[in-house]
Amino acid sequence: MARKQSYSHSELLDLTKRLVLERGYDGFNLKLLSEHLPGARSTIYQYYANKDEIIAACMKRSIGAILEKASALDETDSMRALQELLDIYLEEFQLHQLLADAYKIKTTASEAARRDIEYVESAHEFLKVQLTRLFQKAQQEKHLREDIPLPVHVGMFFNLINTPNMMNVPVPEWSRMLFQIWMGGAKQ
Amino acid sequence: MARKQSYSHSELLDLTKRLVLERGYDGFNLKLLSEHLPGARSTIYQYYANKDEIIAACMKRSIGAILEKASALDETDSMRALQELLDIYLEEFQLHQLLADAYKIKTTASEAARRDIEYVESAHEFLKVQLTRLFQKAQQEKHLREDIPLPVHVGMFFNLINTPNMMNVPVPEWSRMLFQIWMGGAKQ
Amino acid sequence: MARKQSYSHSELLDLTKRLVLERGYDGFNLKLLSEHLPGARSTIYQYYANKDEIIAACMKRSIGAILEKASALDETDSMRALQELLDIYLEEFQLHQLLADAYKIKTTASEAARRDIEYVESAHEFLKVQLTRLFQKAQQEKHLREDIPLPVHVGMFFNLINTPNMMNVPVPEWSRMLFQIWMGGAKQ
Amino acid sequence: MARKQSYSHSELLDLTKRLVLERGYDGFNLKLLSEHLPGARSTIYQYYANKDEIIAACMKRSIGAILEKASALDETDSMRALQELLDIYLEEFQLHQLLADAYKIKTTASEAARRDIEYVESAHEFLKVQLTRLFQKAQQEKHLREDIPLPVHVGMFFNLINTPNMMNVPVPEWSRMLFQIWMGGAKQ
DNA sequence: CATGAATGAGTCTTCATTCAT
DNA sequence: CATGAATGAAGACTCATTCAT
């Protein structure tokens, strides 16, 4: 008796991600969303209770994808693991930008949004812990300069993903290039 | 002969900068602004004709401060100049974030905003040109790896300013630290 | 499947016409409009995107009604046609007053308003051409004084509709009376 | 000790008249007025207590000028007097348009505005009475068709001043032309 | 008196969300 | 479930008018 849904949750979230990246949290609105989807604006409320839940779900899904790959990482060889981690991060380099507006999400009104944002934060935490663990290992194995505090190493590494890829180098190569300069330095 | 102004343009722009950094272009609004200022919301319109003019003026002032310092730079020693440039950028490291929303400013309605944004863009251009000039010089003088394209060097250097300073190292020391790692690499 | 509209577009435009005639373009506002309508002010935006579109649509509808009648006119007998045209104009004698503020409509912001006003202008043009055509014919057939330039005849005829009908003579009789005086003169 | 006024009441009212004719009651505002005058906007309040008083004074002065001329009219020859009255009205043909917004003036708040508008109304009344008197005389002297009610004659005559002078015929000639057609009719 | 500053009331418009069919 | 209609809260902006120097 129930009509078939004309689009899936996943399609809705894909679209949301694209639009939030294009317009930011405030620029994204349900009218815009519905214009890119079949059906009426109000139909969206059949999928999510409000705007914040949509964006929260979108963020959760995005960081979830990374978390999954990062969890599966073989950490035996610390330097190799770091290089692979950079691959993973660069593959979804927009994540940083997407999550930038997470603080705007009003979690008070919506339980689901609150849960999703909590997940996002714990995923963030996991990644940070993993990164720290790898760096500690790398430093113990004397791969890294010891005169630099570990958090600085971590921050600098993590910040690599924001380097503008103005020449559109393909991701795998780009990843290797960044890693190399980061390790070996820019000097001749 | 007339009443004393209850706050200066400069105070208004300082506050604007803080709030735009906190909330972004869309999150920033005149109600918010007026709540942090003495007097009524409409009074703000005595200072600037509309929201876009306020933000544009704020951006102009911020990049203007940097431009002034960067223009005065002694470029004889390219590497030393780069280090000093990094000092300058880090001193106003939020600039990048502040200008991120420049594209949202509606310049069609407001002549003043248009002029300010034009200034911002030309300043941007100046800094880019200066940076490229210094890098070319540095590369000619064999200070930089030649297997890496110049734009990548530039992007990477520029991206240094976004490195999170989680330990709150004082700016001059922080600048030296970043520069060192960038040049020499993270490896032992 | 959805809620029933609480008033029709036509009702909205009728009311708009009345209020614009009473108050003029500037005196007319959406608060006023909504106070004469059931429901909230913002509901009006479901019908038209902004104030200018409402007034433009109202003008279009009004002149459209006249245009339709005028187009159907049998122009064989020029003097009879002029008398009938006067009937038509007098039937909607407020039109002139309604359109007086057409130039205030901001067409830059709204495509729909622009289109409507364009229609109004072309209708205006049609009526002017028709009137001129009839007058040329009438003059050739020696019905009109030849010492008076045609545009003066036209202007004078057209201005008849503004004659205040202080005694509230019914329109058909009023039309005949004006036509008679216009043709034969006021003198004994 | 008092500074000299930098403009006279008369200059202010001249300007007001021009601007009200250009923009209408609502389009006219004190910012606009002050931009065409030396000195600050608030200085205008030294001359008149509020916007409505300015416009009311402007209207009073305009109709006063006509009233003066009309009062001095020699009414011995009724038809000649009517022709001269038309001269007078056409000389200030904008008056009608200027007074069109008289109903918008808020007289409740301002005693001066109330008095001025009262004057305007009594002047209006005087002109109507004078016109009626002249028409009665003309009809008794058999100059006018008797099958037409007097108010219709009056209304029609008065409405002559609104005839658009598209060819910009000089006023005296224009007046004679209108009077002639009105009297003798448009027909050959 | 003249003035620049301040203000509050008022209007337009957008948008997330709810409602009734 | 789907939907078009309705709505209220919020924010931008204008302008007549008052205030303080």
Chain centroid to Cα D31, Å, comes to 25
Note the pLDDT of residue D2: 44
Note the pLDDT of residue A186: 87
Digit-coded pLDDT (tens) for A30-42 = 999 999 999 999 9
Chain centroid to Cα A139, Å, comes to 26
Query: CATH number for the domain including B27?
Result: 1.10.357.10
Scan for tokens 């030649």, then name that residue.
B146
Evaluate whether chains C and D are touching (3 or more beta carbon pairs less than 8 Å apart).
Answer: yes
pLDDT(A2) > 80: no
Digit-coded pLDDT (tens) for D114-138 = 999 999 999 999 999 999 999 999 9
Note the pLDDT of residue B13: 97
Which nucleotide across the nucleic acid strands is nearest to C43, CA versus C1'?
F6
B90 assigned to some structural domain: yes
Digit-coded pLDDT (tens) for A93-123 = 899 999 999 999 999 888 999 999 999 999 9
C91 assigned to some structural domain: yes
A3 assigned to some structural domain: no
Digit-coded pLDDT (tens) for C17-61 = 999 999 999 999 999 999 999 999 999 999 999 999 999 999 999
Note the pLDDT of residue D4: 57
Note the pLDDT of residue D1: 35
Note the pLDDT of residue A188: 78
Identify all chain A residues contacting B149, using CB atoms and an 8 Å cutoff.
167
Round to a whole number and report the distance in Å from the CA of C13 to the C1' of F5: 18
- Of D102, D130, D155, D99, the closest CA to residue C168 belongs to D155
**Mean pLDDT along residues D157-164:** 94
Digit-coded pLDDT (tens) for A142-157 = 999 999 999 999 999 9
Are C167 and D144 within 8 A, CB to CB? no
Digit-coded pLDDT (tens) for B67-101 = 999 999 999 999 999 999 999 999 998 999 999 99
Identify all chain C residues contacting D184, using CB atoms and an 8 Å cutoff.
145, 185, 187
pLDDT > 70 fraction of chain D, expressed in percent and rounded? 97
Scan for tokens 């919506």, then name that residue.
A110
The amino acid sitting at D103 is: Y
B2 assigned to some structural domain: no
Phi first, then psi: give them for residue A144, nearest 5 degrees: -120, 150
Asked if B21 and A100 count as a contact pair (C-beta separation under 8 A), the reply is no
DSSP H helical ranges for chain D: 9-27, 30-35, 51-71, 78-91, 95-99, 111-140, 150-159, 171-184
Asked if B185 and A185 count as a contact pair (C-beta separation under 8 A), the reply is yes
Digit-coded pLDDT (tens) for B106-138 = 998 899 999 999 999 999 999 999 999 999 999
Note the pLDDT of residue B45: 96
Residue C188 pLDDT grade (very low, low, confident, very high; cuts 50, 70, 90): confident
Are D162 and C159 within 8 A, CB to CB? yes
- How far apart (Å, rounded) are the C-alpha atoms in residues C152 and C104? 27
Where in the sequence is the domain holding B47, given as residue range(s)? 9-184
Mean pLDDT across chain A, nearest whole number? 93
Chains meeting D at 3+ CB pairs closer than 8 A? C
- Which chain A residue has its CA at the smallest distance from B177's CA? A148
A16 assigned to some structural domain: yes
A4 assigned to some structural domain: no
Out of C25, C164, C183, name the one closest to residue D187 (CB): C183
- Could you tell me the two tokens for A11? 């399609």
Scan for tokens 């735009």, then name that residue.
B20
pLDDT(C3) > 90: no
pLDDT > 90 fraction of chain D, expressed in percent and rounded? 90
Q: CA of A115: how far to CAs of A59, A65, A105, A110, in Å?
A: 12, 17, 12, 9
Residues 91-130 of B with CB under 7 A from strand F: 109
- How far apart (Å, rounded) are the C-alpha atoms in residues B173 and B177? 6
- Could you tell me the two tokens for D93? 């043909």
D100 assigned to some structural domain: yes
How many independent structural domains does chain C possess?
Answer: 1
Note the pLDDT of residue A1: 36
DSSP H helical ranges for C28-107: 30-35, 44-47, 51-71, 78-91, 95-99
D121 assigned to some structural domain: yes
The amino acid sitting at C111 is: E
- Which chain D residue has its CA at the smallest distance from C147's CA? D188
Note the pLDDT of residue D56: 97
Nucleotides of E under 7 A from a protein CB: 1-21
Are D185 and C183 within 8 A, CB to CB? yes
Residue D74 pLDDT grade (very low, low, confident, very high; cuts 50, 70, 90): very high
- How far apart (Å, rounded) are the C-alpha atoms in residues D14 and D114? 20
Which nucleotide across the nucleic acid strands is nearest to D53, CA versus C1'?
F16
Chain D nearest CA to C49, separation (Å): 23
